[in-house]
């Protein structure tokens, strides 16, 4: 694979960098909103729920959306259980409706994160 970029499409600061400057390029598939498509989240809903509940930025997302008032892991876990109508995150293995809701919440979070980065 080769990549050719027209000079009009290159940010000026890159054109002004020293000759021999090194860059890293990453290629990811984009969704309809031009955000990176994350294919791995749909594999393990239990793991996804655990990662989200430990993520302080997810706590901030829930706080800003008015879902919780105390940004903590414990509050995020309680909110997620109540929202998904489950008693334990392990139920997500077999409860397809709850897993689908979880992935929708995760997509909302990812969109929020990209808009607030």
Which of 39-43, 50-54, 81-85, 94-98 bottoms out in mean pLDDT, i.e. has the lowest?
39-43
d(CA 101, CA 110): 14
d(CA 99, CA 103): 6
Listed residue (88, 85, 83, 87) closest to 106, CA to CA: 83
d(CA 10, CA 17): 12
Say if CB 58 and CB 109 are below 8 A apart. Answer: yes
d(CA 41, CA 55): 15
DSSP class of 30: B
Residue 11 pLDDT > 90: no
Q: What is the pLDDT of residue 43?
A: 75
Residue 98 pLDDT > 60: yes
Predicted confidence (pLDDT) per residue in 12-71, tens digit = 888 888 888 888 887 878 877 777 776 655 578 999 999 999 999 999 999 999 999 999
Residue 97 pLDDT > 70: yes
pLDDT bracket for residue 101 (50, 70, 90): very high
Residue 9 pLDDT > 70: yes
Q: What is the pLDDT of residue 68?
A: 94
Neighbours of 45 (CB within 10 A): 25
Give Rg (Cα) of the chain.
Answer: 19
Estimate to the nearest angstrom the gap between the alpha carbon of 71 and the chain centroid.
Answer: 18
């Amino acid at each position: 694979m080769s990549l050719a970029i027209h000079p009009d499409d290159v940010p000026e600061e890159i054109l002004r960098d020293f000759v021999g400057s090194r860059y890293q390029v990453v290629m990811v598939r984009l969704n309809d909103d031009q955000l990176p498509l994350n294919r791995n989240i749909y594999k393990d809903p239990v793991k996804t729920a655990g990662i989200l509940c430990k993520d302080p930025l997810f706590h901030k997302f829930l706080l800003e959306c008015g879902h919780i008032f105390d940004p903590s892991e414990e509050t995020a876990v309680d909110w997620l259980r109540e929202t998904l109508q489950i008693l334990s995150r392990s139920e997500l293995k077999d409860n397809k409706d709850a897993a689908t809701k979880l992935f929708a919440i995760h997509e909302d979070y990812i969109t929020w994160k990209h808009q607030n980065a």
